[in-house]
A = this chain, B = another copy of it.
């Protein structure tokens, strides 16, 4: 896990350099963007982009813009999720959440600006044909047919038809994991076969991640409840499902050959539960 720890620092550093300085006007907005993004988070999605690049033959660092972009998208999604109209969460990663610290209007705008910055960073990364494709893939994964669609199901009234927990996990978490891995691979010059393996690996990893997160956060009572996406499986069934997803992710990563070591470390990290606070 030593290499992963070093990579987290590399992603942190790249994020720091991608964000506007705290002293640049509008100062409140830029401070809020930095508060929401820097100083915590285990950068799981960013490291996944780097590991995908390494596993498909490139130097990790070619994928840094993808790592930064997916972390910015993740940070924005947490900021908007925490707002009173959504989860109304006062605390995030042990600190006051952004709207508690900076007010609701600034939190809303900082989230908007983080999402926008993600596309600016990605659009100027690597050869233009790769950059354009990465933007398209990340936008698709983050939009109404991906992450935001998944969040909509979480907020919709119980009356609305909900898809299976697996589909909701795919939308909420899996799509961004897949985009992180694919954009990393694209920047490293991965071919279609490798991109297919990366998609499969990251998709399984994302669902397992969400499943284990749900298990840890909600406890058995909630799992037994009807509204919970895990209700259909029960705790034991959910653990078995996560184990089988992680085995599939390992198999897909293994298919990428000897440079998949870092990717396999990430799978182990999810299995160990030593992962980023959601």
Contact = CB atoms under 8 A, between A and B. Distances in A.
Interface of A: 20, 25-30, 33, 76, 80, 83, 85-86, 103-113, 115-117, 119-120, 122-124, 128-129, 131-133, 135-136, 139-140, 142-145, 148-149, 151-153, 155-156, 160-161, 163
A116 B139 contact: yes
A26 B149 contact: yes
Contacts of A128: 128-129, 131-133
A136 B116 contact: no
28 contacts: A25-B149, A26-B149, A26-B152, A26-B156, A28-B156, A28-B160, A76-B112, A80-B108, A80-B109, A106-B152, A106-B155, A109-B151, A109-B152, A113-B149, A116-B139, A116-B143, A117-B143, A117-B144, A119-B119, A120-B136, A120-B140, A123-B135, A124-B136, A128-B128, A128-B131, A129-B129, A131-B135, A132-B135
A129 B130 CA distance: 9
A26 B107 CA distance: 25
B119 A152 contact: no
Chain A contact residues: over half helix, strand or loop, or mixed? Answer: helix
A109 B29 contact: no
Contact of A29 (B116, B129, B144): B144
Which of A86, A105, A117 has the most CB atoms of chain B within a 10 A radius of its CB?
A: A105
A38 to B, nearest CB: 15
A189 to B, nearest CB: 15
A161 B28 CA distance: 10
Given A20-B144, A132-B128, A163-B25, A83 B112 contact: no
A146 to B, nearest CB: 9
B120 A108 contact: no
Contacts of A133: 123, 128
A116 B142 contact: yes
Given A20-B145, A123-B135, A112 B30 contact: no
A136 B119 CA distance: 7
